[in-house]
Amino acid sequence: MSSKTLDLAPASVEDYRKLAEKRLPRAFFDYIDGAAHQELTAKKNILAFESLQLRQRILRDVSNIDTSVNLLGRALDFPLILGPVGLAGIFARRGEAQALKAANKAKIPFCLSTVSICSIEELNEVATEPFWFQLYVIRDRSYAIKLMQNAAAAGCDTLVLTVDLPVVGERYKDVRNGLSGKTNLMGSIKKAINIACHPRWLWDVAIKGKPLVFGNLVDAVPDASGLKDFKSWVDSQFDASMTWDDLGWIREHWSGNIIIKGIMDVDDAKKAVAFGADAIVVSNHGGRQLEGVAPTLDMLPEIVKAVDKKCKVIVDSGIRSGLDIVKAIALGADACIIGRAWAYAIAAKGEDGVTHVLEIMKNEMRVAMALTGVTKVSDIDADILN
């Protein structure tokens, strides 16, 4: 990487990616940046957005651009959500808390991952707006219920149920870096050397950012001596036997909004509607699960048509700019979720980085709306596409 990266004045998500790569130990950067197998699906997610062309229109009154929307009863400054990112507190000191503050300032939702470093309770102490909570489908139903109760007690009004992890995808970079699978002695030595070569991260996060545990799971793994013990418990909890018929207990124990995340099929979208989901997320997990699946943007229009406005449709995977948000809205999405984009920013510059990325994306959205001749999000439709 060029030494100029150190002096980079970031202007895009990609710039923050470069800064994050410089600051983080290799294993943790690759955890954010990597995907399943050869990472082709992750690349195609981005390419799908890049390939979709906007239709430039001129001489229209675009002096008053309004990016605001209403989503699930909440007014947002623009249609974006900071999605659940596991281990964010490893990328920056108490990373989830910093990202939540940025989301609150930007007046958009933040969703806390089950496998976050910061706990639900820690986030509740700094939140000025209700945050969302993401729940995996886990075998230990009693602990899942406990997590939902903790989230409700903290004022969370929306539960994001991630359903595309009956098994963990094969992520080659995580295996090579020792984050999954077995690590030999030489691998452990190389990892330690690489961490030592990142003294700023080591001091700010590994030393001053403690406790580095999965904050929501300390009661489930009380004897854990490190993150690997928590990961072993989490990996054992993914429930491959779960079906649509088993989701009734979720509604029994959660009175707020329910979002089903991981929909990539029309029939599954219809089943989510039948279940009573308030929203679905068209998502292939950023390409981190099934290699060879379609880009989310390709699946979005037919899924939007299938749900027929019976629930909100959100999309993630591959969104890197405000232009991408406009393109997704044009194809029928109600909002977008970002994961890697804010993870790069939190790793590079903490809360300030996330705040800046959100400002960048919102401004990019405003420019795209103005130059396609629309002034309100409700006016964005397929007519602005070539």
How far apart CA 137 and CA 173 sit, in angstroms, is 25
| 285 belongs to the catalytic site | yes
For residue 54, list its beta bridge partners.
385
| E strands in the chain | 69-71, 74-76, 80-82, 111-112, 132-136, 158-162, 257-263, 279-282, 312-315, 335-338
CA distance linking residue 34 with residue 75, whole number of Å: 33
Which residues, 6 or more positions from 22, have their beta carbon under 8 angstroms from its beta carbon?
A: 1, 5, 6
Please choose, from the candidates 124, 109, 151, 163, the residue with its C-alpha nearest in 3D space to the C-alpha of residue 256.
151
Question: Of the listed 37, 198, 253, 285, which one is catalytic?
Answer: 285
Residue of 259, 275, 226, 211 lying closest to 83 (CA atoms): 259
Residue 160's beta-bridge partner residues?
Answer: 134, 259
324 exposure class (CB count in 10 Å sphere: 0-12, 13-18, 19+): buried
**Where does 308-377 have alpha helices with state H?**
322-330, 340-372
197: helix, strand or coil: coil
**In angstroms, what CA-CA distances link 204 with 27, 32, 92, 208, 347?**
17, 19, 7, 5, 11
Active-site residues: which are they? 285
